[in-house]
């Protein structure tokens, strides 16, 4: 007769073999996800647009023939032409060059706060879900406080308190985004920590932090990737709103939101001053949303199986 310990050890060994089989088939799963993503035309279009925007921002000196800061009083408020594709502003600066160079600041503001909030929210969500009790209560009540404030109002309070600078803008946008990420990761952690493979790892004496980072976190990554792609356009929109209200990006730095804010005074006489950066914001936000939706649709069937 086998003892209960032997039976349990056999069950653990069987689960480990099944886990290895899953790892061996992960390549096939990745190929199926990639195939489903390729079938999504909107997601592919979004990815292509994002790549083009990133290349234009990186190779801005090559793309633009004009210096975005060069003032030419003889070419003030000229409309779009073959020489100036998006026209010129109230100081004679080429608007196309300003949009291209401004993409560097706008994209940086989109990526950096999204990365910070993703890392912070993931760590706090894992701690809240896995440790539970007092840790969970403290972190979730703090998240409730952040979510209780309107995001734009909270960001404005932070900017008014700390001052207007790029660094403080990163802090403000990170503060308003981490709580949502923490809630999503906490919910997934609460579900995953009850699974059999986590119980098997516990029975084998694996430490709690190894369980968190080797077993629970990898299972959260697909949704975190989707969340990251959707947070980037959100950060760009928040920055544009803050810049329009005068507490976002400040000269000599230039972003799309700041260009819209500066061009609103000439909206009727020179509509291209707000249309050019406004369309850049619209296209970029839609591209990231298409990409995020495509990743979600491609990953969902894998998560269900």
pLDDT of residue 88: 85
Of the pLDDT bands very low, low, confident and very high (cuts 50, 70, 90), residue 160 is confident
Give the tens place of pLDDT for each residue, 252-283: 777 888 888 888 888 788 888 888 888 999 99
Give the tens place of pLDDT for each residue, 65-124: 888 777 887 788 887 888 888 888 888 888 888 889 888 888 998 899 999 999 999 999
Of the pLDDT bands very low, low, confident and very high (cuts 50, 70, 90), residue 26 is very low
pLDDT of residue 11: 54
Average pLDDT, the chain: 81
**Residue 231 burial by CB count (10 A; 0-12/13-18/19+): exposed, middle or buried?**
buried
Residue 224: CB atoms within 10 A of its CB come to 19
Q: What SS3 class is residue 92?
A: coil
Distances (CA, A) of 200 to 44, 207, 220: 40, 12, 19
Give the span between the Cα atoms of 49 and 283, in whole angstroms: 8
Of the pLDDT bands very low, low, confident and very high (cuts 50, 70, 90), residue 303 is very low
- Within 132-165, residue ranges assigned H as helices are 133-148, 151-162
Give the span between the Cα atoms of 204 and 198, in whole angstroms: 10
Residue 194: CB atoms within 10 A of its CB come to 9
Strand partners, 88: 94
Give the span between the Cα atoms of 132 and 135, in whole angstroms: 6
Helix 166-192 / helix 217-244 crossing angle, nearest 10 deg? 150
Q: What's this model's pTM, rounded to 2 decimal places?
A: 0.79
Give the tens place of pLDDT for each residue, 189-245: 888 887 777 778 777 877 778 888 888 888 888 788 888 888 888 888 888 888 888
In order of their start, the domains of the chain are 40-304 (1.10.3720.10)
């Amino acid at each position: 007769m086998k003892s209960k310990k032997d039976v349990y050890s056999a069950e653990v060994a069987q689960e480990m073999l099944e886990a290895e089989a899953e790892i061996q088939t992960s390549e096939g799963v990745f190929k199926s996800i990639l195939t489903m993503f390729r079938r999504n035309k909107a997601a592919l279009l979004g990815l292509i647009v994002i790549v083009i925007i990133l290349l234009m921002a990186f190779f801005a000196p090559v793309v633009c023939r004009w210096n975005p800061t060069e003032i030419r009083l003889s070419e003030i408020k000229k409309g779009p032409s073959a020489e100036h594709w998006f026209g010129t502003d109230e100081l004679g600066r080429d608007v196309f060059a300003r949009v291209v160079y401004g993409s560097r600041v706008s994209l940086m503001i989109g990526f950096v706060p999204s990365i910070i909030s993703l890392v912070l929210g993931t760590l706090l969500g894992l701690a809240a879900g896995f440790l539970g009790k007092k840790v969970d209560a403290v972190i979730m009540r703090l998240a409730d406080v952040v979510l209780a404030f309107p995001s734009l109002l909270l960001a404005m309070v932070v900017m008014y308190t700390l001052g207007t600078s790029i660094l403080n803008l990163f802090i403000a946008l990170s503060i308003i985004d981490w709580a949502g990420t923490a809630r999503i990761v906490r919910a997934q952690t609460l579900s995953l920590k009850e699974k059999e493979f986590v119980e098997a790892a516990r029975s084998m004496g694996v430490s709690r932090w190894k369980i968190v980072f080797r077993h629970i976190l990898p299972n959260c990554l697909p949704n975190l990737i989707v969340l990251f792609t959707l947070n980037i356009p959100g950060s760009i929109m928040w920055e544009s709103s803050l810049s329009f209200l005068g507490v976002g990006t400040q000269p000599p730095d230039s972003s799309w939101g700041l260009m819209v804010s500066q061009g609103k005074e000439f909206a009727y006489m020179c509509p291209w001053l707000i249309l050019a950066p406004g369309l850049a914001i619209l296209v970029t936000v839609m591209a990231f949303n298409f990409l995020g939706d495509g990743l979600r649709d491609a990953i969902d069937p894998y998560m269900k199986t």
